[in-house]
Structure 1
Amino acid sequence: MTDGPSVASVMADFINEAGVPYVFGYPGTSNIEFMEGARQRGVETVLARREPTAAFMAEGLSMATGGLGVCLSTLGPGSTALVNGVAAAQLDRVPMLAISGQIGTAKEPFFTHQVVEHERLFAPISKWAGRVDAGSTATIMRKALRLATAERPGAVHLTTNADVAKATTTTDDEVVLPPMEAAAVAGQVHRRPGTADPTASLREARRPVIVAGIAAVRAGATPELVRLAEEEGIPVVVAPMAKGVFPENHPMFAGVIDMACNQVIWDFLADADLVLAVGFDPVELIKPWEIDTPVVHVDAVANTDQIYRADVEVVGAIPALLDWLREEAASGPAWSEADLAPHRARLTDEYYRGRVDGRLNPTDVVDAVRAALPREAIVTTDVGSHKLLVGQGWTTYEPRTSLMSNGLSSMGFGLPAAIGAQLAVPGAPVAAIIGDGGFAMVQGELQLASSLGLGIVVVVLVDGSLNRIELKQQALGYPSTATRIEESDLVRLAEAMGCDGERTDDLATLEKALEGSAGRDRPLVIEAHIDPAQYLSQF
């Protein structure tokens, strides 16, 4: 055993080896050494305006690329502020490494100023809350990265004491990442005695439906999913964070579960005689799974959640499993496009229900932004009534181009996630569709987006309300309490932060403001005053 490089430099080596281009955070004394190590290796540290938004930027980068998101904070209030973003990554199933500095090891047992026990703070909201040590830095980093990226992926938090970060390592362990390629073999079938095997179930089904989720995105299962749907004639419903795993312009696309029009989707699933749950993660469910339709669970992990009952589980590499089911079932199309047409028509009618003629409706905004951007554009959305409409109505053609927090479902996600996505995929047009409540939480990040020269389009739906909660108050006959938001001049705000600003309350002006959205070199903020009446009809 010999003295080696510094702990911070070994950590930076692992981050670089993992292909991480950016670290997002708010620095402090205890992470200076790590940031310098990252800089020397070409990994840029992006100064977010707040620690939670730093984590959301890391989430946006990871969601857009499938890679690891990394964020950092200092000790004390920096670490406690990071909590919401770490919890979001954990429940959104996003691989994230969060690093927080800490006071020197000699003082930590007795000193109280800004000292928080990170392991106790982050353990409930992460896959692992660990601590970096000079004698095992490489091993700890391998464990952290493997845990963050292993099924199901999520957040790992590491604490780095100030004296440890600049200490020399005392191990000869190499900077080598563990293998992380998915298996190409099918896997195992588990079923309750007396039930049919999954291929027989699929052959016998006359109205099967696929529900595809985020694990199918992680597995890159789109080609296999499309082949199964086309050859066996099976409609595909997708989960919100899996939008694009099945092209939404495909004639067998059947909608998004638990977004707007959710009753239409649940009625459709209840009428099916078999549900293939392909990589579906119940963390996205807003409404309980109450239908009696038999379920075949197809995933990389077993049905440990038990949110739905599945008498048959097929566990392994999702793409290989889908090909195996298709080849073995081979029963011919169960549904035709004509069979599916009534459901698709009902879904469309329900989506536009409640529009007010002559006003700017929420669905008008979604449609206008979608029409203004090319099919490869990335959209992020915040949390609120508008998210449910974007989730159902934004036509998504490819995976990882429609990004939302639907596990933790945290407000404040949309704008920082758009920044992370734009940095990760610089050639793609990026738009963020945000409510005025969520925007108020993170509007300071506009200045960062401007300083980075990011041409993101930020559309703020202004109705002066925390609409989801206000609607519930109204349903109970209560007055609007703590759910009204004061009007702000977002155009002047945008201009003060180095962005362009536009204001609209009608569709024609919105469409004009969106002209030339692609190819911008600074953010555009559109203050879109909407009529919220459509929300009442929808929800």
Structure 2
Amino acid sequence: MTISKNGAAALVQSMINQGVKYVFGIPGAKVDQLFDLLENTDNPAAPQLIVTRHEQNAALIAAGIGRLTGVPGVVAVTSGPGVSNLATGLITATSEADPVIAIGGQVPRGDLSRLTHQSIASTALLKAATKSSVEVETADNLSEVFANAYNEAVSPKPGATFISIPKDVLSEPVTVPEIKALKPVHQGQIDTESLATLVSQLKTAKRPAILVGMRGSTPAVAEALQKLLRRYHVPVVETFQGSGVISHDLEDQFFGRVGLFHNQIGDQLLQNSDLVLTVGYDPVEYEARFWNPDRTGQTVAIDSVTPEISTDYQPDLTVVADIAASLNAVAAALPEGLVLADEQQRELQDLRTTFAAQNTVPDSKPGQGVHPLAIVAELQRQVTDETTVTVDVGSHYIWMDRHFRSYNPRHLLFSNGMQTLGVALPWAIAAALVRPGKPVISISGDGGFLFSGQELETAVRLNLNIVQLIWNDGFYDMVKFQEKAHYGRDAGVTLGAVDYVKYAESFGAQGLRAETPAELQAALTQALATDGPSLIDIPVDYRDNIRFVTDSLADL
């Protein structure tokens, strides 16, 4: 069969066949044929090419697409440093179960074994950062490789895949047709014996609890979990990436999130439980040695992947199957009228009272900065359930995790596998693209923001309605308060001053500053009503951060 197209054209058609909507990246000589086709195609189904300001950020935007849609985001870069700059974005995606397909240009095949310009062992370099890392040897294999990379990226546990493509492969003639649209691969649900065992355990447990992790936060799993919780009012604890699985009507069953420091309401609840049901839990977020030490109760795991066993996490029953289908089966099998004993309900009510009191905003003085709880309270007043809130890493993300409520799965995004600085704005760009017309708020510290702040220009160029908040204190504060707790002093955490209002304006975005809660209210209202990106610089009062590490479960 003779087909008159080259490798680049076959690759673009392969993307079309698999429903890829966007390709993010930075151009270069080894991928210029691909970029030329994407930029100049007259096919309305072709992916939109979005040029970014750094390859790492392109990978993070693609990961955001993957997390929000379940469909792999695609990033394409040139050889050498273009490829090496992908590493952090791809390892973050793989750790945190975000499907991504990364395409890296490579020197021509005849130069692969030579020390020539931008020649690096790309597949070896990115093998540790991805689920699969392969190099295409002929153009006829391009579509197959892309299809298999797609399947690998979405299969449990989702993550990043990498394809290295020599420059001459993109120009080589293709003689075979592209792979057609792939069909979803479905897992089965919980088996009859395990279902009966789990239902019996739930019926007899005095203090059951559910821990929802990253793979438990898809819309389908959240819907199934909510069905179960309406059947049996079991308390629920979320990990950072499990955020948003509890709807408004089930709020009395929400007992916070766990991660980082072992001193939360959720930690206490899990520690005292005689049956913990983990749903899509991944230890990369919060290892069991923190929430499960010396606990004597049973543990049941429902997940799409086989759990990693450790001294502190050895489930008594493991179900590897479709999580949503399995939860639906459990809900249907539970008897009517199953309720917790009065004593347990009183215990939970006491915990709820303590939990609610933690949101009280302390008094502040002029010039002291805005307290994190005041920022969280204002955000809570102005967001809707349709608002996507992306959170960078730093002290601010601990406050957001502990106090900000979200009632829609995958609308509050954290990086708690790799804790990668700079994720918030790239993820916000992804959210604004896949959820047009819906509010998007990106939250960073002054340290993490400048890891990806140059993408503000990308947001302006695309006219995306993103509100960027910067909690500004002049330090890498998440390190600072822990150093002070450990050593009585800090080191290597001081940052120089930046005028973030002028920084935003230099890119064509709206820049605002809010030094009091009242000013924050006005600025946030203005920013949410503005067409295009806005940035709000907020001097923050971090006086209470030391309590993250000095408070204990005994203080609850």
TM-score bin, normalised by smaller chain: over 0.9
CA distance in 2, matches of 1:18, 1:355: 54
Q: Which fold has the larger relative contact order, with Cα–Cα distance below 8 Å and residues 6 or more apart in sequence? A: 1
Shift of 1:259: 5.7
Per the alignment, in what secondary structure is the counterpart of residue 186 of structure 2?
Answer: coil
Per the alignment, in what secondary structure is the counterpart of residue 398 of structure 2?
Answer: helix
Alignment counterpart, residue 333 of structure 1, candidates 336, 339, 343: 339
Task: Tell me the residue number matched to 2:102.
Answer: 98
Within 5 A, what are the aligned runs for 1:59-138?
A: 59-132=63-136, 133-138=138-143
The one-letter code matched in structure 2 to 1:162 is K
CA distance in 2, matches of 1:329, 1:50: 51
1:269 aligns with 2:288: no
Per the alignment, in what secondary structure is the counterpart of residue 182 of structure 2?
Answer: coil
8 A Cα contact 1:144 1:156, kept in partner:
yes
Shift of 1:35: 2.3
1:223 aligns with 2:227: no
8 A Cα contact 1:355 1:533, kept in partner:
no
1:344 aligns with 2:344: no
8 A Cα contact 2:361 2:374, kept in partner:
no
TM-score by length of 1: 0.93
Q: Deviations over 1:88-139 (max 9, x none)?
A: 1110100000111011111121133221101110111110001123132222
Q: Deviations over 1:490-533 (max 9, x none)?
A: 11111111011111221011101111443532211111001111
8 A Cα contact 1:354 1:534, kept in partner:
no
8 A Cα contact 1:219 1:319, kept in partner:
no
CA-based RMSD: 2.3
Task: Tell me the residue number matched to 1:288.
Answer: 290
1:361 aligns with 2:361: no
Task: Tell me the residue number matched to 1:204.
Answer: 204
Shift of 1:434: 0.5
Distance 1:248 1:238, change over 3 A: farther
CA distance in 2, matches of 1:448, 1:24: 11
CA distance in 1, matches of 2:111, 2:232: 65
CA distance in 1, matches of 2:546, 2:485: 10
8 A Cα contact 1:60 1:421, kept in partner:
yes
8 A Cα contact 1:382 1:405, kept in partner:
yes
Q: Deviations over 1:277-320 (max 9, x none)?
A: 01112121166343323210111222234461101112211122
CA distance in 2, matches of 1:148, 1:262: 35
8 A Cα contact 1:297 1:314, kept in partner:
yes
CA distance in 1, matches of 2:314, 2:526: 49
Shift of 1:480: 2.8
Q: Percent identity?
A: 28
CA distance in 2, matches of 1:467, 1:355: 21
- How many correspondences in the alignment? 534
Task: Tell me the residue number matched to 1:467.
Answer: 477
The one-letter code matched in structure 2 to 1:399 is P
1:313 aligns with 2:318: yes
Distance 1:256 1:3, change over 3 A: same
Distance 1:407 1:476, change over 3 A: closer
8 A Cα contact 1:182 1:219, kept in partner:
no
Q: Using the TM superposition, name which of 197-206 and 472-481 deviates more.
A: 472-481
Shift of 1:264: 2.3
Segments of structure 2 that go 5 or more residues without pairing to the other structure are: 550-556
Distance 1:262 1:10, change over 3 A: farther
Shift of 1:326: 2.5
Q: Deviations over 1:45-81 (max 9, x none)?
A: 1111111111111122222222211112111111111
The one-letter code matched in structure 1 to 2:281 is F
CA distance in 1, matches of 2:309, 2:14: 33
The one-letter code matched in structure 2 to 1:151 is P
Per the alignment, in what secondary structure is the counterpart of residue 520 of structure 1?
Answer: coil
Segments of structure 1 that go 5 or more residues without pairing to the other structure are: none
Q: Using the TM superposition, name which of 13-22 and 76-85 deviates more.
A: 13-22
CA distance in 2, matches of 1:386, 1:177: 42
8 A Cα contact 1:8 1:165, kept in partner:
yes
Distance 1:164 1:275, change over 3 A: same
TM-score by length of 2: 0.91
1:169 aligns with 2:174: yes
